[in-house]
Amino acid sequence: LLMQRVAVLGATGSIGGSALDVIARHPDDMRASVLAAGSNVDALVEQCARHRPDHAVIGEAPRLPALRDGLRAAGLPTLPHAGARALSDLVAGDGCDTVVAAIVGAAGLDSTLAAARAGKRLLLANKESLVLAGELMLQAARDAGATIVPIDSEHNAIFQCLHGREAGPEVRRITLTASGGPFRGWDRDRLAAVTPAQAVAHPKWSMGPKISVDSATLMNKGLELIEAHHLFGLADERLDVLVHPQSLVHSLVEFADGSTLAQLGLPDMRTALAVGLGWPRRIASGVGPLDLAAHGRLEFEPPDTATFPCLRLAREALRSGGTAPAVLNAANEVAVSAFLQGRIGFLSIAALVEDALAAIAAEPAQSLEALGDADARARRHASHAIATGAIA
């Protein structure tokens, strides 16, 4: 059997760390051959010392000398690289078979698309790239024969229920479960005063700051609706959301005959990553057994889209199609970053997204250029609304 060589993009993040944990459990079958981060040179060098990849890439080009020095000081043979272009070249090159796409935000688009175009096995965590350019991504993967294994836990659950096949007419409905985030049951008066520290303290999942805020606003579930639409080819009427605070049932697929299949597991992303790394085999992930008797109850309730409008906005963007999801995603990235910096309030995140969607009309999205243009316009629009205090 050949050694699976894995490129881990976003290695220093939450998903990246979980991926390296699973890879290290299977030293005879797989190894990390490329590690990439954005700006954190020290963490990247430390990971290189542990996992001995052939290549390390830092996103911020001015940090290349620091990366080179760090690798040399540690006596490592790993080759240093910098910048988005170098990353996409390495991803597309023959130094890796599998790509874990776990960069956060639209910054992950180029490298994720490069993996799809090069026909790699693509373990896709970077949901923003699918929201932004889902059709192009799926088309590129089909053309190049790339296998996409969704890593987002809900989509990974659906992938498992469908045995990796597409959702045909036999699938009546797909239901994404949502934890409801840290503010489930809160009203808008309380939400107005929420701090970044409260928003990133997720009750069930330990994740990076951006997706944690997305979970708190329910935008995460909105992005996931769009993600599911692309991955499984279902129209929005056949995609549902159900709040399930225990986060043990990761999603459900209902078939024409009335059967519903679900995937259950502890809220630990190593399960989804092991599905992707081992597929179609089952391999060890380090995640412990699920003791349902100890949990006792599984609860379900409909989402509160009046209090958390981001989910409604995402569904509207999915229905509008074209460039609307790109606008939604870009405005949200700007808004979340401003919220984390303490520049706007929690409720302003949804307000900024709604404002950008209203101001920038959806256009057909046939090209990467059109999508990039919509993304840039939405970023400018939202940044301007924040800078002028129009939405604070």
CB-CB contact of 370 with 363 (8 Å): yes
Residue number with the smallest Cβ distance to ligand NDP:
13
User: How far, in Å, are 12, 45, 47, 59, 81 from residue 66 at the CA level?
Assistant: 16, 10, 15, 12, 11
Check residue 54 for interaction with Mg ion (CB under 5 A): no
Nearer to ligand NDP, 120 or 210 (CB): 210
CB-CB contact of 36 with 10 (8 Å): yes
Residue 224 assigned to a binding site? yes
Nearer to ligand NDP, 15 or 352 (CB): 15
Check residue 208 for interaction with ligand NDP (CB under 6 A): yes
Check residue 124 for interaction with ligand NDP (CB under 6 A): no
Nearer to ligand NDP, 97 or 268 (CB): 268
Beta carbon of residue 135, minimum distance to ligand NDP (angstroms, whole number): 19
Residue 17 assigned to a binding site? no
User: How far, in Å, are 56, 79, 107, 141, 352 from residue 98 at the CA level?
Assistant: 16, 19, 19, 13, 37
CA pair distance 111, 133, nearest whole angstrom: 13
Check residue 107 for interaction with ligand NDP (CB under 6 A): yes
Q: Tell me the sheet residues that pair with 121.
A: 98
Beta carbon of residue 374, minimum distance to ligand NDP (angstroms, whole number): 19
User: How far, in Å, are 58, 101, 258, 308 from residue 15 at the CA level?
Assistant: 17, 9, 35, 26
Residue 221 assigned to a binding site? yes
**Interface residue with Mg ion, options 128, 152, 333, 375 (CB under 5 A):** 152
Sheet with 55-58, strands from edge to edge, namely 79-82, 55-58, 30-37, 4-9, 98-101, 121-124, 148-150
Check residue 182 for interaction with ligand NDP (CB under 6 A): no
Check residue 104 for interaction with ligand NDP (CB under 6 A): yes
Give the angle 341-14-75 at the CA atoms, nearest 5°.
105
**Span 187-206, contacts to ligand NDP by CB under 6 A:** 205
The option from Mg ion, ligand NDP, none interacting with 119 (CB < 5 to 8 A, set by class) reads none
Q: Tell me the sheet residues that pair with 101.
A: 9, 124
Nearer to ligand NDP, 128 or 355 (CB): 128
Binding mask 256-285 for ligand NDP (x = CB under 6 A): -------------x----------------
Beta carbon of residue 49, minimum distance to Mg ion (angstroms, whole number): 31
CB-CB contact of 227 with 150 (8 Å): yes
Helix (H, G, I), strand (E, B) or coil at 370: helix
Nearer to Mg ion, 154 or 254 (CB): 154
Binding mask 68-87 for ligand NDP (x = CB under 6 A): --------------------
DSSP class per residue in 6-75: EEEETTTSHHHHHHHHHHHT-TTTEEEEEEEESS-HHHHHHHHHHH--SEEEESSGGGHHHHHHHHHHTT
> Which positions touch Mg ion (CB under 5 A)?
152-154
Annotated binding site for Mn(2+): 152, 154, 224
Annotated binding-site positions for NADPH = 12-15, 38, 40, 126, 128, 208
Report the interface residues with ligand NDP, using CB under 6 A. 10-16, 36-40, 59, 102-104, 107, 125-128, 152, 205, 207-208, 210-211, 269
